[in-house]
Amino acid sequence: MDEQNEFEQDFRDEFIEGAFFSESDMSDYILEAAYAVDSVQDITSLKFSENVAEEIGKYHFSTLHLAFDFYMKYSKSKGFSARKSKTFKNSSGEIYRQMFVCHRQGFRMEKYYTMEKRKKEPRLETRTGCEARMDVKFVPESGRWHIFYFSDEHNHDLLDTQFSAMLPAHRKMSEADIMQMMNMLKSGISTSQIFGLLASQAGGYEFVGYGPRDMYNEIARQRRQIPGDAARVLKKLEDMRLKDPQLYFKACNDSRGLLRNLFWSDGISQLDYRLFGDVIAFDATYKKNKYSCPLVIFSGVNHHNQTIIFAAALIADETTDTYIWLLRQLMFAMRGKTPTSIITDGAMAIRNAVRVVFPEVRHRLCAWHLIRNTTSNVGNPSFTSKFRKIMTGDYEIPVFKHKWVQLIEEFGIEDKPWVINDKPQFDGLSCIDFRGFYNLSPTFIQ
């Protein structure tokens, strides 16, 4: 009891309002089955509209996790959200007391306002020092977690129920909704249609408790958690390496051990690269797999004017860091041989990665982006058609320059910034330079 009195006194000084429940109070509630919470279903069935502190104090839980779920459900019904706070452990390192507080409890630490070299302003302060909280403790006699202290005194406005569901702590999908969503996805129903169906079941969009973006995030998380496909593809690559010792592959996992990026290149592809790897192209526009992960293909052209594959990869995102990792894997697989020129689309992440890994390599846009730039800068279908003909024609560079000058004079666009100095600027790259580059590998523009 001395330990309990010390615990109570520790928090009476900080929290004036609220109700403490003594050991004898908790003993009286042990046999009340109506207040036993042993599963998530028990919490789902609870109605908190009329509960007062004394009524809340009667509940007891089989696990600490259920106790927190209970307070989360309560907070959602009252217009706020909860988070875990201070814990107390015994000599064995086991938690025997836990505090759950309002999400607006406390204040942001001063050091976050006085950080040096801050790149952006701090977020708006949302904490108000709210004193509402629920403490639970483990009672060995019952083997259950009981509510030890409860206060519902908030110093801020509470939200309507339909809005509290959109607080970050509450904005998540239930297991039932996740299972239903994944089953409907397998049937070919689109995500937007699934969201509409779930909203209809809930009685309206305001009662769903999450948005379409949360659904997309959950779909990606569910698919990344499926270990079977990742394990099978790695096993397949291991089996292939037994037949092809030159096969190189590299997997990159995240902090949770889930597969993020996968790069591979077989022996034949590496031999092709050594012979024809002066000019390479890579594209990350293929996203038709069920994980929505871009498939990156590194390709080139052989001496028969045929497209050949140097390497391939699956990536989780299209950031600069991911592309840097990808290009470095390519260099490792190809024993450090760098290309003379690289053709990509106009994505900023790719451009930045190429500058980091291949600072001396010529970086050029693909033909599709050149045509798109022509259309957006000139806007004349006739000009675009003639431009396409001279770009794809089999001309030497001097002939191409002459035809380009004739073309801009014919359409009177000499003063356009895009064609200043007799060179249309494609994101810093000249069409003339690009045409000369295409003389090396004409099939890239097919």
CB 198 within 8 A of CB 208: yes
Indicate whether 124 pLDDT > 70: yes
Averaged pLDDT, 367-391: 80
Name the residue among 45, 86, 93 with its Cα closest to residue 69.
45
Indicate whether 12 pLDDT > 60: no
Domain shared by 392 and 415, yes or no: yes
Averaged pLDDT, 131-140: 90
Give me 160's structure tokens: 């309507």
State the pLDDT confidence band at 276, using cuts at 50, 70 and 90: very high
Indicate whether 418 pLDDT > 90: no
Is the model more confident about 361 or about 53? 361
Strand 307-314 relative to strand 341-344, pairing: unpaired
∠ CA 186-291-214, rounded to 5°: 80
Indicate whether 404 pLDDT > 50: yes
* pLDDT of the residue at 140: 87
Domain shared by 13 and 157, yes or no: yes
* pLDDT of the residue at 6: 47
Domain shared by 121 and 147, yes or no: yes
Domain shared by 231 and 220, yes or no: no
> What digits encode the pLDDT tens for the residues 188-215?
888 888 888 888 887 877 677 777 888 8
Name the residue among 230, 307, 237 with its Cα closest to residue 265.
237
State the pLDDT confidence band at 21, using cuts at 50, 70 and 90: low
Is the model more confident about 145 or about 421? 145
CB 302 within 8 A of CB 272: yes
State the pLDDT confidence band at 372, using cuts at 50, 70 and 90: confident
* pLDDT of the residue at 13: 41
Most confidently modeled range among 44-53, 130-139, 218-227, 276-285: 130-139
Indicate whether 162 pLDDT > 70: no
- What are the contacts of 379-382 at 24+ separation with CB within 8 A? 380/411, 382/411
Averaged pLDDT, 9-35: 53
Indicate whether 444 pLDDT > 50: no
Domain shared by 274 and 340, yes or no: yes
Indicate whether 240 pLDDT > 80: yes
Domain shared by 306 and 410, yes or no: no
Domain shared by 285 and 243, yes or no: yes
Is the model more confident about 7 or about 147? 147
Record the pTM. 0.45
Q: Which of 42-51, 215-224, 326-335 has the lowest mean pLDDT?
A: 42-51
* pLDDT of the residue at 53: 63
Q: Evaluate whether residue 355 is within a structural domain.
A: no
Strand 279-286 relative to strand 341-344, pairing: parallel
* pLDDT of the residue at 183: 86
Percent of the chain surpassing pLDDT 90: 16
Indicate whether 157 pLDDT > 90: no
Is the model more confident about 424 or about 28? 28
Domain shared by 28 and 139, yes or no: yes
The torsion region of residue 305 among left (phi > 0), alpha (psi -120 to 50) and beta comes to: left
* pLDDT of the residue at 7: 45
Q: Evaluate whether residue 349 is within a structural domain.
A: no
Total structural domains in the chain?
A: 4
Q: Which of 3-7, 117-121, 436-440 has the lowest mean pLDDT?
A: 436-440
* pLDDT of the residue at 438: 37
Is the model more confident about 10 or about 299? 299
State the pLDDT confidence band at 51, using cuts at 50, 70 and 90: low
Domain shared by 336 and 372, yes or no: no
Domain shared by 54 and 141, yes or no: yes
Q: Evaluate whether residue 351 is within a structural domain.
A: no
State the pLDDT confidence band at 286, using cuts at 50, 70 and 90: low
Give me 445's structure tokens: 């523009």
Q: Evaluate whether residue 353 is within a structural domain.
A: no
Domain boundary among 186, 204, 224: 224
- Please give the mean pLDDT across all residues of the chain: 78
Q: Which of 47-56, 295-304, 326-335 has the lowest mean pLDDT?
A: 47-56
Q: Evaluate whether residue 120 is within a structural domain.
A: yes
Domain shared by 15 and 148, yes or no: yes
End-to-end alpha-carbon separation of the chain, Å?
83
Q: Which of 44-53, 339-348, 369-378 has the lowest mean pLDDT?
A: 44-53
Q: At 369, which amino acid appears?
A: H
Give me 139's structure tokens: 């009672």
Is the model more confident about 53 or about 248? 248
* pLDDT of the residue at 426: 38
User: What is the domain extent for residue 311?
Assistant: 227-344
CB 17 within 8 A of CB 150: no
Domain shared by 189 and 206, yes or no: yes
* pLDDT of the residue at 270: 95
Averaged pLDDT, 145-150: 88
∠ CA 385-386-390, rounded to 5°: 120
Q: Evaluate whether residue 71 is within a structural domain.
A: yes
What secondary structure does DSSP assign to 391-443, as a single string? HHS---HHHHHHHHHHHHHHTT-TTSGGGGGG--EETTEEHHHHHHHHTT-GG
Indicate whether 247 pLDDT > 90: yes
